[in-house]
């Protein structure tokens, strides 16, 4: 029997909610033969089995296990950081099965009315916002006397951390980051909120998600893939690929009601971080407006491009005097490769007088658009929406830079003249046509084009109005990009390997492909290699459709990424059907990842059967998908080889979450690992024939 210390430790863990009773009982059963096991050894074994995290173990040793559970649902996993206004933890929301960030007011602040008011103000401020470039708030409350705020959890690093690690950032990438931040701030300003503490530490850049590298190559070796799936791999931050999110709105105030902050922002009191504070903010934070945030954003961009803050003074008074009266070292002196126009944008953002700055964050975003990196996250949106006029860069700047302004202003004026001449060419040299009864030239739709690809939109901004029209003329290696968020009632069949090899079909605003009445399959990829489909919502519709999507025959390298599959009826329907994939060991696999599937008889089927007889289905990875409210979530059967079902979340399914329905003789290298299953008594069903197959491993399927 385990020692008394071990038993007490297990009981304390159960009372604290650190691990389930079932897990504790399983551990006790495993340890009954080892009478010499100490409490510390038990903790190390629980960490190794991932029953506890290192942070939870530390709290349990200190007798603070109860602090690892907030509001009965948020299990604290690790501490992410700590500041004067609270500690931030990564936690798991057991009710919604997702990781979140939990910010907790420190114990020493519990009797500080001002601190509590500021903390609550942040919760109310975030609750009014919903934007992809702002951290989303989910919940807040008080638990065991602790005030907490639940936020969106984003895997990434603050811009201040990136600056510490690698110094200055290339101007185009820095422009992209601040462009995104400006979009988020414009949303906040539109809701009447001013941040008042814009700085690199409050801008978070997301990085690639865990397991992002698993499907990047064939990965045919089962042991190697298993080792990948057990690590906490996070791809390095791709500065041009991440999404910037504005966080920490603890200093924000609403213009309409000030959210009860009269004690915190009295007239004559400055609030913020001195390196990024506008001159007026040092004097009177109460009357800060959107232009104050623009100044802080300008100081942040200055630091990203140059690697240094504008005024490195050592004291608060020094910094206040410098921001009010001095000019920073010009950006182009610290970073000679900075484009002249970008230097002027930064200068205008940092003008001493609010009236001389850009007046809105939207103006900042528009001014930065020409300097955003061509391969950055922002470019897809820019290609659809931005209408930039270079003439807007004619701007006033501090007197010390008049010569440079005059010189670059001449270049910009010349560029404007050339641009206007090109735009005016048709009206000068080509005959004019007008519509009947009109008094001027006809309106010409602004058709958006992309390099090496075709565009689709229902509003006339695309080259085509249906996906089928674009598929008729697409060439190998090209992209078909759906620009709008409309509904396309058509079947999409990609089944010509000569024409469709290496094509990408993508939706940038979650366009819907809805099954027409007579369609058997809405989205079909058959016998075409290296196809990528991403970003769409697929709706089964009300017709006779049985399969929302099908992957048939030889399709090496096919990727379904970030798709949403929806059905409102469950009469013999299937969300994703993967059948008889004739792939060799040297081919890249078929990968279905980051998709959401709900409402089908079968959510995902992986089948090595044709008319009931075994036929090889080889080289399939089903990973990081959300499958719910189906009869059977993920179903696999037949002659399967090199099939990996990993890191999926499956719940709310009426028969089984995952069912391995029997594998044919010759099946091999099948791995079901790291899936999270819940809401069922029979989460995982394994039929008897599977036990006769070599190379099948089922492990680490957590249940909640």
Q: Report strand pairing: 512-514 vs 487-489.
A: parallel
Tokens of 166: 């690698």
Strands (E), 112-237: 137-143, 146-152, 156-158, 193-194, 203-206
- HSE of 664, CA atoms in CB hemisphere, 13 A: 17
Query: Among 537, 587, 538, 586, which Cα is nearest to 558's?
Result: 587
Dihedral sign of CA atoms 329, 331, 337, 340 in order:
negative
Q: How distant, in Å, are the alpha carbons of 235, 310, 526 from that of 699?
A: 24, 54, 32
- Catalytic site includes residue 631: no
Give the end-to-end CA distance of the chain in Å, rounded to a whole number: 28
CA distance 564 to 492: 15
Q: Reduced to 3 states, what is the DSSP secondary structure of residue 543? A: coil
Query: Among 31, 37, 39, which Cα is nearest to 5's?
Result: 39
Q: How distant, in Å, are the alpha carbons of 537, 647, 683 from that of 653?
A: 21, 17, 9
Exposed/middle/buried for 543, CB within 10 Å: 0-12, 13-18, 19+?
A: middle
Inter-helix orientation angle 21-31/39-48, to 10°: 120
What does residue 446 show for φ and ψ, rounded to 5 degrees?
-85, 90
Catalytic option among 197, 248, 293, 484: 197
Secondary structure element (H or E) that encloses residue 598, with its range: strand 596-598
Q: Are 558 and 534 in contact (CB under 8 A)?
A: no
No. of H helices and E strands in the chain? Answer: 18, 39
Residues taking part in catalysis: 197
């Amino acid at each position: 029997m385990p020692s008394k210390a071990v038993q007490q430790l297990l009981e304390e863990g159960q009372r604290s909610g650190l691990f389930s009773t079932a897990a504790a009982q399983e551990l006790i059963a495993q340890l009954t033969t080892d009478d010499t096991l100490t409490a510390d050894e038990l903790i190390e074994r629980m960490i190794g089995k991932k029953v506890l995290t290192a942070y939870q173990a530390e709290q349990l040793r200190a007798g603070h296990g109860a602090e690892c559970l907030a509001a009965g649902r948020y299990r604290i996993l690790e501490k992410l950081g700590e500041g004067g206004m609270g500690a931030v933890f990564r936690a798991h929301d057991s009710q919604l099965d997702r990781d979140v960030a939990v910010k907790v007011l420190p114990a020493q602040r519990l009797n500080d009315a001002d601190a509590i008011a500021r903390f609550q103000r942040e919760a109310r401020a975030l609750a009014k916002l919903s934007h992809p470039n702002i951290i989303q708030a989910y919940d807040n409350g008080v638990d065991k006397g602790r005030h907490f705020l639940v936020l969106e959890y984003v895997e990434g690093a603050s811009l201040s951390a990136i600056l510490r690690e690698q110094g200055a950032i290339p101007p185009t990438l820095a422009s992209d980051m601040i462009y995104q931040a400006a979009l988020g701030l414009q949303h906040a300003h539109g809701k009447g909120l001013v941040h008042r503490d814009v700085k690199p530490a409050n801008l978070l850049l997301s990085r690639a998600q865990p397991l992002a590298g698993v499907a990047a190559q064939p990965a045919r070796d089962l042991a190697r893939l298993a080792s990948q799936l057990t690590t906490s791999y996070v791809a390095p931050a791709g500065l041009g690929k991440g999404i910037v999110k504005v966080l920490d709105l603890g200093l924000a105030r609403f213009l309409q009601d000030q959210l009860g902050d009269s004690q915190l922002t009295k007239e004559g009191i400055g609030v913020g971080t001195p390196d990024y504070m506008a001159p007026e903010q040092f004097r009177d934070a109460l009357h800060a407006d959107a232009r104050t945030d623009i100044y802080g954003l300008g100081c942040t961009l200055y630091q990203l491009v140059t690697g240094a803050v504008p005024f490195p003074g050592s004291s608060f008074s020094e910094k206040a005097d410098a921001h009010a009266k001095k000019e920073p070292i010009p950006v182009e002196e610290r970073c000679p490769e900075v484009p002249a126009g970008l230097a002027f944008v930064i200068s205008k953002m940092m003008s001493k007088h609010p009236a001389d700055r850009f007046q809105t964050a939207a103006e900042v975003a528009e001014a930065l658009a020409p300097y955003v990196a061509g391969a950055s996250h922002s470019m897809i949106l820019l290609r659809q929406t931005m209408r930039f006029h270079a003439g807007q860069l004619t701007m006033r700047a501090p007197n010390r830079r008049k010569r440079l302004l005059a010189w670059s202003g001449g270049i910009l004026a010349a560029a404007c003249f050339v641009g206007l001449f090109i735009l005016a060419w048709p009206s000068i040299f080509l005959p004019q046509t007008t519509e009947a009864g009109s008094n001027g030239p006809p309106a010409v739709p602004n058709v958006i084009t992309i390099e090496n690809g075709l565009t689709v939109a229902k509003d006339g901004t695309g080259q085509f109005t249906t996906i089928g029209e674009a598929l008729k003329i697409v060439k190998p290696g090209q992209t078909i990009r759906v620009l709008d968020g409309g509904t396309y009632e058509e079947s999409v069949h990609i089944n010509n390997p000569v024409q469709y090899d290496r094509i990408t079909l993508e939706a940038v605003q979650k366009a819907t492909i809805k099954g027409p009445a007579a369609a058997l399959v809405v989205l079909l990829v058959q016998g075409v290699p290296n196809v990528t489909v991403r970003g769409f919502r697929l709706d089964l519709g009300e017709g006779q459709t049985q399969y929302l999507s099908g992957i048939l025959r030889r399709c090496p390298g096919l990727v379904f990424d970030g798709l949403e599959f929806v059905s409102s009826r469950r009469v013999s329907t299937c969300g994703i059907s993967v059948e008889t994939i004739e792939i060799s060991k040297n081919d890249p696999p078929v990968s279905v990842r980051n998709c959401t599937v709900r409402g089908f008889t079968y959510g995902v089927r992986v089948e090595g059967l044709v008319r009931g007889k075994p036929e090889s289905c080889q080289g399939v990875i089903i990973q990081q998908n959300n499958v719910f409210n189906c009869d059977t979530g993920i179903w696999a059967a037949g002659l399967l080889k090199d099939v990996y079902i990993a890191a999926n979340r499956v719940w709310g399914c009426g028969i089984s979450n995952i069912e391995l329905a029997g594998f044919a003789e010759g099946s091999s290298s099948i791995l079901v690992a790291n899936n999270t299953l819940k809401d069922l008594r029979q989460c995982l069903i394994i039929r008897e024939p599977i036990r006769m197959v070599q190379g099948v491993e089922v492990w680490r399927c957590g249940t909640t």
